Amino acid sequence: MSYKELYQPVHLIIGEGCIREIPRHIDTFGGKKALIVTDRGLLKIGTVKMITDVLDGVGKPYAIFADVLPNPTVSICNDAKALYDREGCDYVIGIGGGSPIDVAKAVGILATNGGTVEDYNGLELSTYKSAPLIAVNTTAGTGSEVTRAFVVTDEKRKSKMLCVDSNSLAYLAINDPSMMVGMPPALTASTGMDALTHAIEAYVANSRCPFTDGIALEAIRLIGQNLEKVVENGSDMEARTNMCWAQYMGGLAFSNAGLGMVHAMAHQMGGFYGTPHGVANAILLPYVMRFNMSACPDRYRDVAQAFGFNTGDMTPEQGALAAIRFIEELKKNIGIPMLSDTEFDPKDAVILAENAMEDTGMPENPRQPTIPEVVQVFMEAYLDKR
Ligand SMILES: [Fe+2]
Domain coordinates of the chain in residue numbers?
11-179, 185-383
- Residue 280 CA to ligand 1 center (angstroms) comes to 9
> Whole-angstrom distance between the N-terminal and C-terminal Cα of the chain?
49
| DSSP secondary structure code for residue 362 in this structure | G
pLDDT digits (tens, 9 = 90+) for 247-285: 999 999 999 999 999 999 999 998 889 899 999 999 999
Distance 232 CA to ligand 1 centre (A): 22
The CATH fold of domain 185-383: Dehydroquinate synthase-like, alpha domain (1.20.1090)
- Would you give the DSSP letter of residue 81? H
The residue-averaged pLDDT of 30-53 equals 96
pLDDT tens figures, 336-350 = 999 999 999 999 999
Give distance in angstroms: CA of 263 to centre of ligand 1. 6
The Cα 114–Cα 224 span in angstroms is: 43
Ligand 1 center to residue 144 CA distance, Å?
8
Q: How far is the CA of 109 from the centre of ligand 1 (A)?
A: 21
- Mean pLDDT across 230-246: 94
Per cent of the chain over pLDDT 70 is: 99
Range with the poorest average pLDDT among 6-10, 195-199, 228-232, 288-292? 6-10
What are residue 135's DSSP bridge partners?
A: 94, 173
- Give residue-wise pLDDT tens across range 15-30: 999 999 999 999 999 9
pTM: 0.91
Q: How far is the CA of 1 from the centre of ligand 1 (A)?
A: 32
- DSSP letter string, 216-258: HHHHHHHHHHHHHHHHH-TT-HHHHHHHHHHHHHHHHHHHHH-
**What is the distance in A from the centroid of ligand 1 to the CA of 313?**
33
Angle between helices 210-232 and 316-333 (to 10 degrees): 30
Q: Ligand 1 centre and the CA of 161: distance in Å? A: 13
What is the DSSP code (8-state) at residue 92?
Answer: E
Confidence of residue 71 (pLDDT cuts 50, 70, 90): confident
Using the mean position of ligand 1's atoms as its centre, give its distance from the Cα of residue 322 in Å: 23
For domain 11-179, give the CATH number. Answer: 3.40.50.1970
Alpha carbon 82 to chain centroid distance? 26
What is the model's pLDDT at position 183?
A: 87
CA of 145 to the centre of ligand 1 (A): 12
Give 366 Cα–ligand 1 centroid separation in angstroms: 17
Q: 142: CA distance to ligand 1 center in Å? A: 5
Q: What is the mean pLDDT of residues 40-47?
A: 94
pLDDT of residue 1: 52
161 pLDDT more than 90: no
Q: How far is the CA of 267 from the centre of ligand 1 (A)?
A: 9
Ligand 1 centroid distance, CA of 325 (Å): 21
Give residue 314 CA to ligand 1 midpoint distance, Å: 30
From the CA of 41, how far away is ligand 1's center (Å)? 21
Query: Taking 90 as the threshold, does the pLDDT of residue 160 lie above it?
Result: no
Same fold, 11-179 and 185-383: no
Quote the ligand 1 centre to 266 CA distance (angstroms): 9
Choose between 352 and 155: higher pLDDT: 352
* C-alpha of residue 201 to centroid of ligand 1, in Å: 10
Please tell me the predicted confidence (pLDDT) of residue 50. 96
For helices 185-204 and 210-232, give the axis angle rounded to 10 degrees. 160
Q: Where are the alpha helices (DSSP H) in 274-339?
A: 277-292, 297-306, 316-333
